[in-house]
Structure 1
Amino acid sequence: MTTRPPTPSRRTLLRAMAVLPASAVLVGELPGTALAAAPPSGSATRYTIVPFLNSNDGTVNVYQSDDATDFRLLKSSAYTPPSNRIRDASVLKHTDGFYYLTYTTHTWQDVSTTIGFARSSDRANWTFLYDYTVPIANLSRAWAPEWFVDSDGSVNVIVSCSLTSNEWIFTPYRLRATNSALTAWSSPVALSGIGANHIDTYLVKSGSTYHAFTKNETTKYIEYATASSLNGPYTISRTGDWAGWGSYREGPSVIQLDNGGWRIFFDGYGDGSYYYSDSYDTFATWSAPTALPVISGTARHFTVVKETVSGGPSLARNVTRSFRSANYTTRYWQNQSSLLNLPVVTGSSTSAEKTASTFTVVAGLADPNGYSFRDSSGNYLRHWDFRARFDANDGTSTFAKDATFIARTGTSSGAIRWESYNYPGRYLRHYDYQLRVDRTDGTELFRQDSSFGPVTAWA
């Protein structure tokens, strides 16, 4: 039996062509803006992605996450189109309650004048709808369609298209749905100002401004542009390695996190990883790119749909509780010399030890849907240099954020994982029986180490 080699990437071809003579060089959703806040008690945030695989562009997996970092498999090979390929799938939750995919229908070697559509009621089981021929004269390739829902509710697809005159020079076009069934589309309109030689254009609207993230196919950097109208004209204001993401990056997808920051995901096809990076100043500066755990190296070009769903952790506020480790069930949170540790606590422990293991749960200082924790002296649990400790509230916004945690579902019944409010993807986690705010690595051990059950207070 012959082992099938990994599916070639269209980007592999484009990158390889960069070494050819100049005459042969190939150049080439946020659905609405919701208020950012931690999910209310009893609810959870859910992020869904539907990527094709590095080893197979004939099918897609579905992954979900409650923190936009630790994506876990919901269903493998969840959708295989009846013919052709599925690449660069973009996912949308529509007003009819269904989830919709739009995707590239052919691999990079082939002429590809259609984009595909599929639908699901549960994100796990998908039904093919149709392939749509993009009505552009002399079209060679229609790639990387991306959903964009405008603030007026109109549903659009931004698709990168090239002509037969130069099949590797791509321009972003807008298609607007003309019916609620998403089966009829307006004539394509090029996004003015972004222009040719850009691919994988992803749009976000914040306030009255449209923000575009688009890959320059010559430089291989993701560029940034803004406009006051969806069709443009856009002004490209950031080029080169302006955000510190590096080159050979593509497939940007931007969502707003629960703490109000923005996260971009992008395919680091040059080194085989998948990255995320965060911004808290409306896209001006970004954190250093970090590889996504678990799916990096497996998943390819995806977009993200974010929802608030029922069934999340529920914990009353303004009550006292103790917190027991999910995987070391004789050990509890305890304030030891202003540091949070995880010693053994039993019925025979001293009253001082029991008091130090008892905390008042209150609304989050930075977000009332989050949580903060006070010790018996009124000091708050916060992180400092990623170590969990107790300090007096100094009234600053930095302290409020350091002392606020978002409840995420734990590994055992009733257990909760506590994500840092201002460092998304980092959790209160015990290591050597000390509590730190560490970045998730996606392993089951980390999830257990960061899960704690709220129980009746020791004191």
Structure 2
Amino acid sequence: MTPHPSIPSRRSLLRAAAVVPVSALVLPTLPGLLGTAAAAAPAGASATRYTIVPFRNSDDGTVDVYQSDDATDFRLTQASAYTPPGNRIRDASLFRHTDGYYYLAYTTHTWQDVSTTIGFARSADRVDWTFLYDHTVPIAGLSRAWAPEWFVDGDGSVHVIVSCSTTDNEWIFTPYRLTATDSTLTTWSSPVALSGLGANHIDTFVVRTGSLYHAFTKNETTKYIEYATAPSLNGPYTISRTGDWAGWGSYREGPSVIQLDNGAWRIFFDGYGDGRYYYSDSYDTFATWSAPTALPTLSGTARHFTVVKETVSGGPVLPKNVTRSFRSVNYPTRHWQEQSGLLGLPVVTAASTAAEKLAATFTVVPGLADANACSFRDASGNYLRHYGFRGRFDANDGTTTFARDATFVARTGTASGSVRFESYNYPGRYLRHYDYQLRVDPADGTDLFRQDSSFTPVTAWA
């Protein structure tokens, strides 16, 4: 398989070596989760913010900053936000420290070169970055130190997990832990290999749930992301999932895992074999995963990133237990209206009949599955829910499935005062109009989709 165009993968040589025998070759609120906000929809006037700082497919000398409110539709915040004073910047891992600053740790050289250091930079606002230092990883005979990943443990200790190889076999990597020995993150412990993962694993990303540590790590021989667990950060890890166990395919790297607002876990990974960037979701704590989906705005542009999740101010305000009508942003004469039990978007005016106005009036209530989110009730007491990804109204049957189908997370819309409604149980899908029918469709990253899915709450027609 040939490298992706422009900047070749730092594993291009490793892919070629796969045919050769190995012998020949912010704010952490959940333990161990980097900058993770609580798993619940944001309260009124607040918003979820996901930040990534990837290097470019076309240029590994700089990084850009993107942000998203749904972990799916990422928008460029700052181009060329940080360019190190020397060397390169690849595989940048991001977290927010207790001092309020955001920190990057990154690979300092391209894959062809010997690379015995990892770089560090700092920012107060995620946009303007200051180079801190390059840290030489003290391993005898070190050839390459790649892909440092932040990990904050439950006791607040800060670690970097870095993949290292030595000169006796520069393409066989082992994950090591470095621990910050001061709060300024300027001094580090000696490297300790993570027990149980073994050699030839790279891009190891760890999250912790309760007392269990979960490692997602790329097997550089098979090119699959594997899964392991351990009772401590150092291990011993037991690898329990290998091969294409999650259906993500091969030639995947750079896993990063975050918890979404609805409690699901999302993994992001670089599909360097086909030039796409993917995500996949798990609702059973990593046992099974959804089919991988390409990120709409990042594929082919961004490379190898981690994600910081925060709750910030400035989100939409949608009062509960009040009646409202909902006007389309890009078709302002059209409003939500119940039509034969389905949700449509016809023209509604002062000249409309009383029945038409009543059908365009809804009560906003706390979300059935999450009170911070919202649900919508019609005049007869039925709830708006998706069924076959079509918006329709049904009586609440009291099931968890119905509650989740009828719950939507309010996200900021494209016009002042407008709101977008993300499906609670299908994150990344939004209520949007298509042929003047309301569907729950996946965000495609376009401005047209954002406008089609933006609605302004207005005074109720009835």
TM-score range, shorter chain: over 0.9
8 Å contact kept, 1:33–1:206: no
Which of 41, 53, 62 aligns to 2:44? It is: 41
Q: Does 1:378 align with 2:381?
A: yes
SS of residue paired to 1:401:
helix
Q: Does 1:11 align with 2:21?
A: no
Give 1:405-420 correspondences, 5 Å limit.
Answer: 405-420=408-423
Structure-1 residue corresponding to 2:148: 145
Structure-2 residue corresponding to 1:352: 355
Structure-2 residue corresponding to 1:431: 434
- Between the aligned partners of 1:22 and 1:109, the Cα distance in structure 2 is 19
8 Å contact kept, 1:17–1:24: no
Superposed displacement of residue 23, structure 1: 5.3
Structure-2 residue corresponding to 1:246: 249
- Between the aligned partners of 1:210 and 1:32, the Cα distance in structure 2 is 17
SS of residue paired to 2:63:
strand
Deviation readout 1:219-238 (Å, 9 max, x if unpaired): 00000000111100000000
- Between the aligned partners of 1:122 and 1:365, the Cα distance in structure 2 is 36
Give 1:44-443 correspondences, 5 Å limit.
Answer: 44-443=47-446
Superposed displacement of residue 398, structure 1: 0.3
Superposed displacement of residue 6, structure 1: 1.6
**Amino acid in structure 2 at the alignment position of 1:283:** F
Deviation readout 1:396-422 (Å, 9 max, x if unpaired): 000000000000000000000000000
8 Å contact kept, 1:113–1:133: yes
- Between the aligned partners of 1:211 and 1:35, the Cα distance in structure 2 is 19
8 Å contact kept, 2:216–2:227: yes
- Between the aligned partners of 2:390 and 2:301, the Cα distance in structure 1 is 32
Deviation readout 1:233-256 (Å, 9 max, x if unpaired): 000000000000000000000000
SS of residue paired to 2:80:
strand
8 Å contact kept, 2:37–2:309: no
- Between the aligned partners of 2:131 and 2:37, the Cα distance in structure 1 is 29
8 Å contact kept, 2:37–2:311: no
8 Å contact kept, 1:33–1:151: no
Q: 1:325 to 1:202 in 2, by over 3 A?
A: same
Superposed displacement of residue 280, structure 1: 0.2
Superposed displacement of residue 31, structure 1: 2.2
**Amino acid in structure 2 at the alignment position of 1:99:** Y
**Amino acid in structure 2 at the alignment position of 1:203:** V
8 Å contact kept, 2:36–2:309: no
Q: 1:21 to 1:261 in 2, by over 3 A?
A: closer
- How many residues matched? 452
**Amino acid in structure 2 at the alignment position of 1:428:** L
8 Å contact kept, 2:35–2:95: no
Superposed displacement of residue 22, structure 1: 6.0
Q: 1:191 to 1:142 in 2, by over 3 A?
A: same
SS of residue paired to 1:10:
coil
- Between the aligned partners of 1:175 and 1:168, the Cα distance in structure 2 is 21
Q: 1:295 to 1:200 in 2, by over 3 A?
A: same
TM-score by length of 1: 0.97
- Between the aligned partners of 2:330 and 2:10, the Cα distance in structure 1 is 45
**Amino acid in structure 2 at the alignment position of 1:252:** P
8 Å contact kept, 1:11–1:269: no
- Between the aligned partners of 1:407 and 1:160, the Cα distance in structure 2 is 40
- Between the aligned partners of 1:450 and 1:31, the Cα distance in structure 2 is 30
Q: 1:33 to 1:315 in 2, by over 3 A?
A: closer
Deviation readout 1:123-182 (Å, 9 max, x if unpaired): 111000000001111111000000000011111000000111111110000011111111
- Between the aligned partners of 1:330 and 1:33, the Cα distance in structure 2 is 40
8 Å contact kept, 2:36–2:258: no
Q: Does 1:444 align with 2:447?
A: yes
| RMSD value, Cα | 1.0
- Between the aligned partners of 1:153 and 1:19, the Cα distance in structure 2 is 43
- Between the aligned partners of 2:95 and 2:88, the Cα distance in structure 1 is 19
Deviation readout 1:24-78 (Å, 9 max, x if unpaired): 44xxx62276531000000000000000011110000100000000000001111
Deviation readout 1:297-323 (Å, 9 max, x if unpaired): 110000000000000001110000000
8 Å contact kept, 1:172–1:201: yes
Superposed displacement of residue 8, structure 1: 2.1
Superposed displacement of residue 20, structure 1: 4.2
- Between the aligned partners of 1:263 and 1:133, the Cα distance in structure 2 is 32
SS of residue paired to 1:83:
coil
- Between the aligned partners of 2:325 and 2:12, the Cα distance in structure 1 is 54
SS of residue paired to 1:233:
coil
- Between the aligned partners of 1:169 and 1:20, the Cα distance in structure 2 is 12
- Between the aligned partners of 1:55 and 1:322, the Cα distance in structure 2 is 46
SS of residue paired to 2:11:
helix
User: Percent identity over the alignment?
Assistant: 82
Gaps of 5+ in 1: none
SS of residue paired to 2:274:
coil
